[in-house]
Copies of this chain bind each other. A is one copy, B any other.
Amino acid sequence: MEKKIASVAENATARRHSCEACPLRPLPVFRAFEPSELDFVSHFKRGELAVDRGATVLVEGSSSPHLYTVLSGWGFRFKLLSDGRRQILNYIVPGDLIGLQGSIMGEMQHSVEALSALVLCVFERDKLMQLYGRHPGLAYDITWLASREERMLDENLLSIGRRSAIERAAYLLAFIHERARTVGLATRSSTAIPITQQHVADTLGLSLVHTNKTLRKLIQRGMIEWRDGGCEIVDLGGLLKLSGWEGLDEGKRPLV
């Protein structure tokens, strides 16, 4: 399959949600914003980018002039070794900020791909300094989001380094499900998590075959279901117990 690379010029401003009527912001997870902050963000936003399923949003090694917040859809961050081995670093759900590393440090050190159709709010990288100068609260929020990403990576590292295959799988699916739940996705009997077993394998650091056998065990234990190219969580408690994970413990968080 030919992979498309999303470009702003191409697809931008197909639709335009005003920040004042942001569909995400009303969710209970997100902290309330000052009107002045909302106003700034509104000007900070340059447009929207619609990305097809399977398309690459950001490429390792490139330096994107943009910063994005996910408005809707699923995606993932990953890195490749030179021989093609792939490691998925984290998943991306609505409300997540992507491309910060590239904006701050100049060059992307990982790639981002869309798991489903994706709509992104596009921000100008150049205005980021302005944000830091005029809105310390928002600047703090961005650091907050970077710290949160770091925390999730710590958890993933712990999981891959020290958990067994079945524990890892249980942790991963519980983790993704929890993240999705907080932003209104993957509610009971709504949409499944749109990943293939290859994605799971590349996240857990396991082979595809062994991932399949491991997931089969979770299915047999009645913890998950796998259907039409996705995973449905049936028994979250069971997954948490099996993995020994405490679950996400986040209060309100910022949305930029």
Binding site for B on A (CB under 8 A): 77, 79, 81-83, 85-87, 89, 100-101, 104-105, 109-110, 129, 132-133, 136-137, 139-140, 142-144, 146-151, 153-158, 160-163, 202-205, 244
Contacts and interface: CB of A to CB of B under 8 A. Distances in A.
A142 B141 CA distance: 12
Nearest to A151: B109
A220 to B, nearest CB: 24
Contacts of A204: 161
Contacts of A160: 157, 160-161, 205
A105 B152 CA distance: 13
Contacts of A142: 143
Contact of A154 (B89, B137, B163): B89
B129 A140 contact: yes
11 contacts: A79-B157, A81-B158, A81-B162, A81-B163, A85-B163, A87-B161, A143-B146, A149-B150, A153-B154, A153-B157, A161-B205
Question: Closest 10 CB pairs between A and B?
Answer: A161-B205, A132-B136, A146-B146, A153-B153, A87-B161, A85-B162, A87-B158, A133-B136, A104-B147, A79-B158
B104 A143 contact: yes
B140 A140 contact: no
Contacts of A156: 157
A205 B162 contact: yes
A200 to B, nearest CB: 12
Given A104-B147, A150-B150, A157-B160, 19 more contacts: A79-B158, A81-B244, A82-B244, A85-B163, A89-B157, A100-B143, A104-B144, A109-B154, A109-B155, A132-B137, A139-B139, A139-B143, A142-B143, A143-B143, A146-B150, A156-B157, A161-B202, A161-B203, A161-B205
A154 B86 contact: no
Contacts of A140: 104, 129, 132, 139
